[in-house]
Amino acid sequence: LHCGQIQGFFGPRTPVDNLFAGPIALSYFKLKNLQNPVIVSPDAGGVARAKAFLEGLLAAGLHPSLAVIIKQRSRPGVVGSMNLVGSVEGCDTIIVDDMIDTAGTLTQAANELKNFGAERVFAFATHGLFNGPAAKRIQDCALEEVVVANTVPLRDEVKAQTSKIRVISVGKLLDGAIRAIHQGESMSALFNNDLGGRLLA
């Protein structure tokens, strides 16, 4: 769900659980041999999401830190400048967001992180829409890799324009959720970061 509060709009006869692809992505990034990892929120509103991702890396034995990009808009819909709260110099960074649309903010943030001295810049988002110029922007920017879940099919024209997008499957996560609901089992295990390795397809 784009927002967890949406669960409250469903009646008691319709079971709804907000599933997270984060544990799967954590298992993927553990394989990346991250050096001095920094989790970056692309805006102030995403700090809680980035902090949850950071805590997952902490549980995996890594020692990440947190940074936040503060955007100053020159006019509605146009980012005039970006300021960084935190340090990324010499660090591998992961920008964590919920959705990538045209990738304007994401790619601008990635380039800014490079300007601030980041070593490698990755991004993770649950939903990859990649509309308009997104693919070209990603290919041309400082991002090394963009990781998204397969909640939205990756179109052929996007694949043709960039080789930087890596898709991870949420199939096992959905399978576990459906099985737990129908068998009356606890859903809490699916939110456990330690389970991510078994969910990574």
Tokens at 106, concatenated: 């994401």
How far apart are alpha carbons 164 and 137 in whole angstroms? 11
Catalytic residue among 30, 32, 51, 71: 71
71: annotated active-site residue: yes
Return d(Cα 39, Cα 49) in angstroms, integer: 10
d(CA 139, CA 145): 9
Cα→Cα distances 74→41, 79, 80, 105, 200, Å: 20, 6, 5, 14, 41
Alpha-carbon distance 17 to 177, whole Å? 8
Q: Which are the catalytic amino acids?
A: 71
